Amino acid sequence: MSVAAGVADRIAAIRLSRLVVRARMVRREPALLMGGGIGLLLLYLVIAPVVAMLSDAVVVQFGDQFLVGQRPGELTTYYLERAFSSPVAGLLFWQPLLHSIVTAFGTTAIALALGGSLAWLVVRTDMPGRRWFASAFVIPYMMPSWAFALAWITLFKNRTIAGQSGFLENMGIQTPDWLAYGAVPIIVTLSLHYFPFSFLLVANALQRFDVQLEESARVLGANALRTTVRIVAPLMLPAVLSAVLLTFSRVLGTFGTPYVLGLPVNYSVLSTSLFQSFRSGSIGVMAVLAAVILAIGVTVVAADTWLLREQRRFVTIGARTPLERAARLRRWWPVAAAAAGTAFFVSVVLPLGTLAISTLMRIPGRFEWSNFTLDFWLAEHLPGFVGSPFGLLRNAELYSAAWNSLWIVGSAALACGVVGLLVGYVVVRTQGTWLSTFVRQVSFLPYLVPGIAFAAAYLSLFAVRRGPIPALYGNMSLLVLVLVVAYLPYASRAGISAMMQLGREPEEAAQMAGASWPRRMARIVIPIQKAALATGILLPFISGLKELSLVILLITRGTDVLATLSVRLVDYGYAQLSNAAVLVVAIFAFAATYLAQRLSGSGLASGLQGPGR
């Protein structure tokens, strides 16, 4: 008995002295303390919303007592049954699931094929205009994703759905339904938007690829096929998988495109089915759908990790060849240039041009002088357009939405960049501890939560007051918060990789000279890391400007941002005005990108590469 007590005492003493040592460490190295703070914050801002949402799926929601036959707050399987096995389960869940998978796979395949081959043309051949194409192929990603959908419907809309017909129909060319709506247009338009991921990642990898390895293989007698399979493919695999992962999870969570192109013909995907549940107040079913989207996202990332497990065991060491060994296209160059030019035309000129022209026509596709007008931009009064009865540029809502976009996204991006750098600081300075691992992993977690599911999670957590945390719904700060957390992966990735390259020495020197921690941060760390900070701010800013999936559930009437203003005009059925609004979003995003590249002097390729690599 007493022996046991003595042992316990000694253990306690050891624990205590360990604690003392730790406390001293914490004082000297605030990274630990800060890490704890950031860790807790992330726990609340990343994990808790997901938990709140998951709990919504199995708890009777308020107002549903009549349907469920239980009291609010009680555990129930009603929502799971409704989504998975009721007579409407097929329409609520299984069909959308199938459609989501079809569109995600289709888009990923086409985007990868398109982006990959364009990358090869730009990096590994002597095609003329390579430099220009290298930056031109990023533009489609700078446009809002649903801009492509609006352009498509402007061209192809037929009389199967309500509203004004499209250009082709009005010009007497009947467009078949499969071309106008559903899987085909969704896959095509999303591919056009997302192929820049594949382009950038593959181009990046090709650029770093050591041509000597390929030549050594040839010298050793491998034929072209063998070289490709055994040398090139394994080395390209990480980039390709990055692109696949990124495209797949984005498509899964995207809302705007299937909303415009799928929903009118009841081709619903998980994100639009989720949105419909939200609208009809079926919060329980919405939570089930969000959980499924989340689960697919996690599965994709897990598969990706598993496929890459071999990769991390070795490093390719070799001098980078200074020689450019471009494949000579010889007489094929016009074909290559035409293909690249066509890709640019279809993914940039055609959609933007269609949208622009459509805003100038009273009746779509009727190319007569009398049909052209500037009214949709400038008119003081547009009769019949109830709720938005003036040209877009005269609409005060446009300016308040633009201002909202700027300050909401701007402050979110700023906060994101700073937190990202702090995450980098914590992760690197506490390396080797479980805290470092935790902060790193959790700050990347939002990356694999598709946008609309993440928004649903935020809606669940912040809908009511919980303890000391007020309900943030209806408050603009909720939008800022969700954007900060959703884009944190980009910023923390930039922060971590930058901090990795900064040794402790400069900071220690300052510490010896008596500088406090805030002073060390302000005078040493941040100035050295300003490039990383800029990336961590600008990338979220550009993405946030054209974000729709994240904000559509959280926005309230009267506080639109540009993206939701455009969708609201779609809902009103005012095609010209919504097309004009989406053009304004595109112009903002272009301007921000231009500014970003001027300021940071770097391309966006490095930033887009998935975090964690």
Partner 1 sequence: MISLRSLALVAAGVLVLAACGGGTGTTAPAATATAAAQASPTAQPFDEAALLAAAKKEPPLGVLNNSGIVTTLAADFEKKYGLKVNGTKADSPTQVQQVTREVQSGNVTLAVLSIEDGALVQAQLIPQKILVNYVPGDMVKSIPAEWQNPLVQLWDAKVIGYNPDSYSSCPITNLWELTDPKWKGKNSIRDPLGTPEEITWFSWLVSDEFAPKLAAAYQQKYGTALQTTEKNAGYEFIKRWAANKPITGKSDDDTAAAVGAPGQKDAPVGVMALGKFGEAPSKGNKLAVCKNVTPWIGYAYPRYAVTVANTPSPNAAKLFIHFLMTIDGAGPSINDHGGFSANTDVAPGKNEFVGSREDWQKSLVFLSPSGNDRGWQLRQALSDFWRLSRQ
- Residues 399 to 458: which contact partner 1 by CB under 8 A? 437-438, 441-442, 444-445, 448
Burial class (CB in 10 A: 0-12, 13-18, 19+), 73: exposed
Q: Which of residues 122-181 bind partner 1 (CB under 8 A)?
A: 159-165
State the Cα–Cα distance between residues 528 and 12, nearest whole angstrom. Answer: 44
CB of 127 to partner 1, least distance (A): 33
Q: Which of residues 348-367 bind partner 1 (CB under 8 A)?
A: 362-363
CB of 286 to partner 1, least distance (A): 11
Name which position in 154, 175, 276, 566 contacts partner 1 (CB under 8 A).
276
Q: Which of residues 82-101 bind partner 1 (CB under 8 A)?
A: 87-88, 91
CB of 275 to partner 1, least distance (A): 10
Which C-beta is closer to partner 1: that of 308 or that of 339? 308
Name which position in 472, 521, 538, 552 contacts partner 1 (CB under 8 A).
472
Task: Give, for 484, the enclosing helix (H) or strand (E).
Answer: helix 476-500
Which tokens sit at 196? 């820049």
Q: Which of residues 305-324 bind partner 1 (CB under 8 A)?
A: 305-306, 308
CB of 613 to partner 1, least distance (A): 6
55 binds partner 1 (CB under 8 A): yes
Residues 6+ apart with CB under 8 A from 589: 142, 143, 144, 542, 545, 546
Which C-beta is closer to partner 1: that of 133 or that of 447? 447
What count of other Cβ atoms lies within 10 Å of the Cβ of residue 116?
A: 22
CB of 399 to partner 1, least distance (A): 15
Name which position in 221, 322, 467, 468 contacts partner 1 (CB under 8 A).
467
66 binds partner 1 (CB under 8 A): yes
Name which position in 280, 342, 501, 516 contacts partner 1 (CB under 8 A).
280
State the Cα–Cα distance between residues 342 and 331, nearest whole angstrom. Answer: 18
519 binds partner 1 (CB under 8 A): no
Give which of 538, 551, 553, 530 is closest to 591, Cα–Cα. Answer: 538
346 binds partner 1 (CB under 8 A): no
Residues 6+ apart with CB under 8 A from 476: 404, 408, 559
468 binds partner 1 (CB under 8 A): no
CB of 188 to partner 1, least distance (A): 23
Name which position in 25, 326, 464, 595 contacts partner 1 (CB under 8 A).
464
Distance of CA 324 to the CA centre of its chain: 34
Give which of 236, 239, 269, 164 is closest to 549, Cα–Cα. Answer: 269
Q: For 395, what's the count of Cα atoms within 13 Å in the CB-facing half-sphere?
A: 26
Q: Give the position of tokens 């998951």.
A: 54
String of b and e for 278-316 (b: at least 16 CB within 10 Å)? Answer: beeebbbbbbbbbbbbbebbeebbeebeeeeeeeeeeee
In the DSSP assignment, the letter for residue 464 is S
Residues binding partner 1: number (CB under 8 A) = 85
Three-state SS for 172?
coil
CB of 40 to partner 1, least distance (A): 12
Name which position in 281, 318, 334, 527 contacts partner 1 (CB under 8 A).
281
Which tokens sit at 473? 């719904």
Between vectors from CA 99 to CA 193 and to CA 252, what angle results, nearest 5°? 45
CB of 353 to partner 1, least distance (A): 24
Name which position in 37, 69, 73, 527 contacts partner 1 (CB under 8 A).
73
Name which position in 337, 463, 515, 528 contacts partner 1 (CB under 8 A).
463
Q: Which of residues 557-576 bind partner 1 (CB under 8 A)?
A: 557-558, 570-574
304 binds partner 1 (CB under 8 A): yes
Three-state SS for 365?
coil
What count of other Cβ atoms lies within 10 Å of the Cβ of residue 384?
A: 7
Which C-beta is closer to partner 1: that of 82 or that of 193? 82
Which C-beta is closer to partner 1: that of 414 or that of 463? 463
Q: Which of residues 489-518 bind partner 1 (CB under 8 A)?
A: none
State the Cα–Cα distance between residues 151 and 167, nearest whole angstrom. Answer: 10
Q: What share of the chain is helix, strand, coil (3-state, %, to 5)?
A: 75, 0, 25
- With beta carbons less than 8 A apart as the criterion, state whether 413 and 541 touch: yes
Give which of 534, 545, 541, 539 is closest to 587, Cα–Cα. Answer: 545
Window of 5-13, 98-106, 275-283, 589-597 that interacts with partner 1 by CB under 8 A: 275-283
State the Cα–Cα distance between residues 158 and 386, nearest whole angstrom. Answer: 24
Which C-beta is closer to partner 1: that of 322 or that of 467? 467
Which C-beta is closer to partner 1: that of 137 or that of 454? 454
Name which position in 43, 213, 360, 534 contacts partner 1 (CB under 8 A).
43
CB of 393 to partner 1, least distance (A): 17
